Amino acid sequence: MASPASSVAGAGETVLTVVLAGNPNVGKSSLFTALAGVPTRVGNYPGVTVERKVGRFTHGGRAIDLVDLPGVYGLVPRSPDEQAAVDALAGRVPGMAPPDCAVVVADATNLERNLYLASQVLGLGVPVVVALTQSDVAGAEGITIDHALLAARLGCPVVPVVAPARQGIPALASAIVAAAAGPVPPAPAGLEAIAAAAGPEHSPAAREAIARYAWIERQLAGVVTRRPPAGAAAARQIDELLTHPLSGTLAFVLAMLAMFSSIYWLAAPVMDGIEAGVAALGGAVRGLLPEGPIASLLVDGILAGAGSVVVFVPQIALLFAFVALLESSGYLARAAFLMDRLLAGVGLSGRSFIPLLSSFACAIPGIMATRSIENRRDRLLTIMLAPLMSCSARLPVYLLFCGAFVPDRAVGLPFIRLPALVLLGLYALGVVVAAAVAWLLTQSVLGRSRQPFVMELPRWRWPLPGVVLRRVAEAAGSFLHNAGTLIMAVSVVIWALTTYPRDEAAIDAEVAARRGALERRIAAGTEPAAPAAELARLDTPAGLAAARRGAAQRQSFLGRAGRLVEPLVRPLGWDWRIGCAVLASFPAREVVLGTLGVLYDLGDGDDAEGGLAARLHAATWDDTGRPVFTLPVALSIMVFFALCAQCASTLVVIGRETGSAVWPVVSFLSMTLLAWVAAWLTFTVASGLVGG
């Protein structure tokens, strides 16, 4: 029975609108992907889906628009994401056809609780199908469900599925098509009488709950049988160990250390190969084309910019593979439980953890995930803290400077390397600063409130290779997409700004002035060795060419702008080129490496050959000739990127989610100021300890 409002696929064919509804963390997103074939973010903790997602597929000759809704426990919404789900089920969404069928996604291992929502959806007057997810886990835990008997009692099809393995998916699709053309199942009977018998001492909501759970008990009588599961005692002991404040925290730190250490030595051979390939490609292109602007654009602009970013794909892929393994096994949910105690200590609700955890991949879905937070104060505070979590766009910056400038020495154990510790510290920095900001705000302007956080720990399970590989492919694909579009476009713009205008007379004059200054320093007799060496280098063809390229860069549009901002960044230990790269990365921090690749691909002579790290090592200050990049400078850059709000998309989403243009401005200004101060402190302290 298709709704009159159903959309039209073409040639008069109506498209069925089918909604997926269920409690949080029951596998709706996995089922959506298995049915519609549309990859979507899945996770074994609640709050992954915060807005409707639509995917179209065809089954039995019928086109179906499948709508994945945010998780709800009932049809009385308490937060924005729950309101969106309830409106879609009730057909109250403008521009969306009322559902022709509602698929209630129920966890087979916890059927009693999941049927509460089903009992409400059965009263909406739409065809219903119940999909039992986690059916394989239920079997392993000794839970047997008589699906036919349950379907007969509910009056609607009941289909067991294992979404990641696509078991039961064709049967579920057939049941959806058949149900949409069939009768509407009956609403649960006798609820009013049970609620009335519960007595006036109970609230209306409590009486409804008593009535519905009594109805559920009747439906499940003789349907579900249980036998003691094997391995339950061992799983309980592991949970106690990993959620204990002491042993759990130690295990979490060790897991993170192992993850960050391994991505360096596992990815190194592949990264070396990519760098060699990019260098060979650049040499081949330069050999094919005559010297001039076109060759310079292709080699110094596009290849230098995009190549400087692509080299980090192996490390990003490895990091997301580890995260997917931890998530799929159920460990991240234990970590969330562990972190809830820390969040409560700084005045945050435990509900803030999932949005903040999501922000480690990208702040945008993390900010959108705050829709699951009921309290407006907690939601606003979590939105403002989410950009402080180190997202994946910051990772290439950390990897470059940790690998190039932090000494690769063992700390305690041979496999614990100092670059990995610094990398872990940068991730921790955002968390610590966010906690401090949260504590300050909740102790002053926002005040304290404490919402209970209830989270059901998923069962331990072996990660599925397909799920892990899909997550890795999504992360690497997104990164490469940025490298191929945004970063490449910015690299071309930066190349143009550093190439034009080109005044040969002005370049000759600057080189002559530099030569004269060196000769005067030698004649003065004060430390003549350094200026003598530089003058000797200036007299070689390569040295003269490098000096001319450097002069041309300084006189370009970007060079002039960079020298204007240099007084602002010089206290951080940066030269004008670092300042320009950071300014260019304010719309999107991913572009900084491409910009550095372009800026430091010019003007440093033979020493600058090799990958970006080698070119940064060879870079020198224009006025003194000393190295630009040292350990304190590298640390100050990484700390700045860890704390600064360099993402226009994130600021737009903050404005949309808060409904105000004030909060994006507050976020940008406060984080930029915080980042500058922290970078200055880092450079000053590190210079005092190890020398600048």
The string of pLDDT tens digits covering residues 586-635 is 877 877 877 787 777 544 444 444 567 887 888 888 766 688 999 999 99
Q: Look at the block and give the residue holding tokens 């200026």.
A: 531
Q: How far apart are the first and last CA of the chain?
A: 75
What is the token pair recorded at 597? 């690749």
Strand partners, 160: 132
Task: Convert the pLDDT of each residue in 70-110 to its tens digit.
Answer: 888 888 877 777 788 888 898 888 888 899 999 999 999 88
What is the token pair recorded at 54? 């639509």
Say how many C-beta atoms besides its own lie within 10 A of residue 527's C-beta. Answer: 10
- pLDDT, position 445: 73
Q: Is the pLDDT of residue 44 over 60?
A: no
Strand partners, 570: none
Phi–psi pair at 145, nearest 5 degrees: -120, 130
Closest CA to 19 of 128, 123, 117, 110: 128
* Contact between residue 638 and residue 398 where contact means Cβ atoms under 8 Å apart: yes
Per-residue pLDDT, averaged over 515-544, amounts to 79
Secondary structure (DSSP) of 228-296: PPTTHHHHHHHHHHHTSHHHHHHHHHHHHHHHHHHHHHHHHHHHHHHHHHHHHHHHHHHHHS-SSHHHH
Say how many CA atoms lie within 13 Å of 499 toward its Cβ: 17
Closest CA to 686 of 630, 632, 623: 632
* Contact between residue 86 and residue 77 where contact means Cβ atoms under 8 Å apart: yes
Q: Which residue has the higher pLDDT, 383 or 94?
A: 383
What is the C-alpha separation between 607 and 616, in angstroms, rounded?
10
* Contact between residue 129 and residue 156 where contact means Cβ atoms under 8 Å apart: yes
What is the token pair recorded at 32? 């959506």
Go through 573-597 and write b for each residue having 16 or more CB atoms within 10 A of its CB, e for each that does not.
Answer: bbbbbbbbbbbbbbebbbbbbbbbb
Per-residue pLDDT, averaged over 567-578, amounts to 92
Closest CA to 23 of 124, 87, 114, 110: 114
Q: What is the CA radius of gyration of the chain?
A: 30
3-state secondary structure of 363: helix
Task: Convert the pLDDT of each residue in 644-664 to its tens digit.
Answer: 987 887 888 898 888 889 999
Torsion on CA atoms 303, 309, 315, 317, rounded to nearest 10:
-90
Per-residue pLDDT, averaged over 556-560, amounts to 86
- pLDDT, position 129: 97
Q: Which residue has the higher pLDDT, 187 or 40?
A: 187
Q: Burial level of 615, CB count in 10 A (0-12/13-18/19+)?
A: buried
Q: Which residue has the higher pLDDT, 300 or 526?
A: 300
pTM assigned to the model: 0.66
* Contact between residue 388 and residue 428 where contact means Cβ atoms under 8 Å apart: no
- pLDDT, position 151: 95
* Contact between residue 617 and residue 627 where contact means Cβ atoms under 8 Å apart: yes
Q: Is the pLDDT of residue 41 over 60?
A: no
Reduced to 3 DSSP states, what percent helix, strand and coil does the chain have, rounded to the nearest 5? Answer: 65, 10, 30
- pLDDT, position 606: 43
Lowest mean pLDDT among 162-171, 397-406, 591-600, 638-647: 591-600
* Contact between residue 46 and residue 372 where contact means Cβ atoms under 8 Å apart: yes
Task: DSSP letter for 446, please.
Answer: S
Q: Where does the pLDDT of residue 468 fall: very low under 50, low under 70, confident under 90, or very high at 90 and above?
A: confident
Residues with Cβ within 8 Å of 526's Cβ and at least 6 positions away in sequence, in order, are none
What is the token pair recorded at 184? 């509407």
Secondary structure (DSSP) of 95-114: TSPPPSEEEEEEEGGGHHHH
Q: Is the pLDDT of residue 28 over 90?
A: no
Secondary structure (DSSP) of 542-603: HHHHHHHHHHHHHHSHHHHHHHHHHHHHGGGT--HHHHHHHHHTSSBTTHHHHHHHHHTTSS
* Contact between residue 609 and residue 600 where contact means Cβ atoms under 8 Å apart: no
3-state secondary structure of 202: coil
Strand partners, 18: 66, 101
Q: Is the pLDDT of residue 112 over 70?
A: yes
Task: Convert the pLDDT of each residue in 449-459 to its tens digit.
Answer: 666 666 667 77
* Contact between residue 145 and residue 160 where contact means Cβ atoms under 8 Å apart: yes
Per-residue pLDDT, averaged over 256-268, amounts to 79
Task: DSSP letter for 301, please.
Answer: I
Characterize the bridge pairing of strands 158-160 and 143-145: unpaired
- pLDDT, position 455: 65
What is the C-alpha separation between 351 and 328, in angstroms, rounded?
21
Say how many CA atoms lie within 13 Å of 337 toward its Cβ: 20
What is the C-alpha separation between 106 and 543, in angstroms, rounded?
71
- pLDDT, position 328: 80
Per-residue pLDDT, averaged over 582-589, amounts to 80
Question: What value does the mean pLDDT of the chain take?
Answer: 83
Q: What percent of the chain has pLDDT over 90?
A: 27
H/E element, 462: none
What is the token pair recorded at 65? 């628009």
What is the C-alpha separation between 122 and 184, in angstroms, rounded?
9
